[in-house]
């Protein structure tokens, strides 16, 4: 336990450094935007004098290091600036949009994990038999399907042809939980299937390796129930898939941005599109930074879970 706490504190202590690096990368990249924040805020018809006064007040003409440290100071205070007129705090827009993106990501992740476990374990248990062959073909097809294209197919089939689910829009779970599930079903499926297919292949490979180990042969020879044997092998087999889970969650966070645009969900994807099309550098900067920090936090959490399920790494 002491070794685990030491390694956990080491991971958490690195987070501020990584957040500073993320903030620097996002800030520097967006400095190359062709959009002038002054004219974007004042309008293209603003006079050069008005532009100069606005730039001086906002520090737009300061050297890059000065602007970066001012940006960090605002970030520490939780101030990400305001959107272009009509002016609204960027933090308020993100606070409204990010919970929806988080809901979609977590729902898609839960669905992906369930499908991956079912497909991966079944394929390993029935190795080289017809269930294994079917699931391997399905997993290859799932990996090859882009989420955005899958989303369009789901809308065409289940919303337009069969009229079982809505084509888009969002229902707050506080207003109607059933309506929320209906509005999130197709986006979550589109987001989850490619990830589930990839994880299922990893779980199958890990399970096949574990089922061939000596302790499993000993358990079978001792007459233990098959379910108990599979459960024991699965616990050890999940170590490898868990190492890539953080990357998959990051993929789902970024994929959710595209899926939200397809299904007209008012999440972070809509904010990014709004910022890009409207030339709102501050809004784009705030949303991208929020998603990047969320990805970092998820990876730290997955690292801690990996330490829990794999005691051998605690000695490193």
Can you name the residues that pair with 89 across neighbouring β-strands? 82
Of residues 159 and 58, more confidently modeled: 159
Cis peptide before 234 (omega within 30 of 0): no
**Of the candidate ranges 73-77, 135-139, 312-316, the one whose mean pLDDT is the lowest:** 312-316
- pLDDT, position 121: 92
- What digits encode the pLDDT tens for the residues 103-158? 998 999 999 999 999 999 999 999 888 888 898 888 888 888 888 888 899 999 99
Return the percentage of the chain with pLDDT > 90, whole number.
16
pTM for the predicted model, two decimal places: 0.83
The count of other CB atoms within 10 Å of the CB of residue 82 is 18
At 1 the pLDDT is 63
Which of 19-28, 81-90, 183-192, 257-266 bottoms out in mean pLDDT, i.e. has the lowest? 81-90
pLDDT of the residue at 4: 64
Alpha helices in the chain (DSSP H): 2-30, 37-42, 48-58, 64-76, 90-125, 130-144, 147-154, 177-211, 214-221, 226-237, 239-262, 268-277, 281-309
Rg of the chain over Cα atoms, rounded to whole angstroms, equals 24
Which of these ranges, 126-130, 235-239, 274-278, 308-312, has the smallest mean pLDDT?
308-312
Mean pLDDT throughout 245-263? 82
Structure tokens at 192: 């989850």
Q: What is the pLDDT of residue 2?
A: 67
Provide mean pLDDT across the span 13-41: 80
Query: 257-274 pLDDT, tens per residue?
Result: 889 888 988 888 888 888
pLDDT value at residue 111: 93
* More confidently predicted of 276 and 166: 166
* Other C-beta atoms lying within 10 Å of the C-beta of residue 178: 9
| Pick from 88-102, 122-136, 291-305: least confident | 291-305
Q: Which pLDDT does position 309 carry in this prediction?
A: 66
Here the tokens at position 17 are 């450094």
């Amino acid at each position: 336990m002491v070794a685990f706490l030491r390694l956990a504190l080491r991971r958490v202590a690195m987070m501020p450094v990584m957040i500073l690096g993320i903030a620097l990368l996002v800030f520097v990249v967006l400095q190359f935007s062709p959009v002038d924040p002054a004219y974007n805020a004042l309008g293209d018809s603003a006079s050069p004098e008005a532009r100069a006064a606005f730039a001086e007040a906002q520090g737009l003409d300061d050297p890059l290091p000065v602007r970066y440290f001012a940006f960090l100071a605002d970030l520490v205070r939780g101030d990400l600036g305001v959107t272009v007129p009509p002016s609204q705090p960027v933090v308020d827009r993100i606070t409204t949009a990010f919970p929806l993106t988080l809901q979609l990501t977590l729902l898609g992740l839960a669905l992906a994990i369930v499908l991956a476990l079912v497909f991966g374990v079944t394929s390993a248990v029935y190795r080289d038999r017809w269930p294994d062959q079917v699931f391997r073909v399905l997993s290859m097809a799932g990996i090859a399907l882009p989420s955005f294209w899958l989303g369009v197919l789901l809308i065409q089939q289940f919303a337009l042809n069969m009229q079982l689910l809505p084509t888009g829009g969002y229902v707050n779970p506080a207003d109607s939980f059933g309506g929320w599930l209906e509005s999130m079903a197709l986006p979550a499926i589109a987001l989850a299937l490619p990830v589930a297919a990839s994880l299922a292949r990893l779980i199958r490979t890990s399970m096949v390796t574990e089922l061939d180990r000596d302790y499993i042969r000993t358990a079978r020879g001792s007459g233990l129930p098959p379910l108990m044997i599979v459960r024991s092998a699965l616990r050890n087999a999940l170590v490898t898939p868990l190492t890539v889970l953080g990357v998959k969650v990051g993929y789902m966070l970024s994929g959710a941005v595209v899926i939200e645009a397809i299904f007209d969900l008012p999440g972070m994807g809509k904010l990014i599109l709004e910022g890009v099309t409207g030339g709102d550098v501050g809004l784009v900067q705030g949303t991208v930074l929020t998603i990047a920090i969320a990805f970092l936090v998820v990876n730290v959490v997955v690292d801690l879970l990996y330490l829990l399920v794999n005691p051998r790494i605690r000695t490193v």
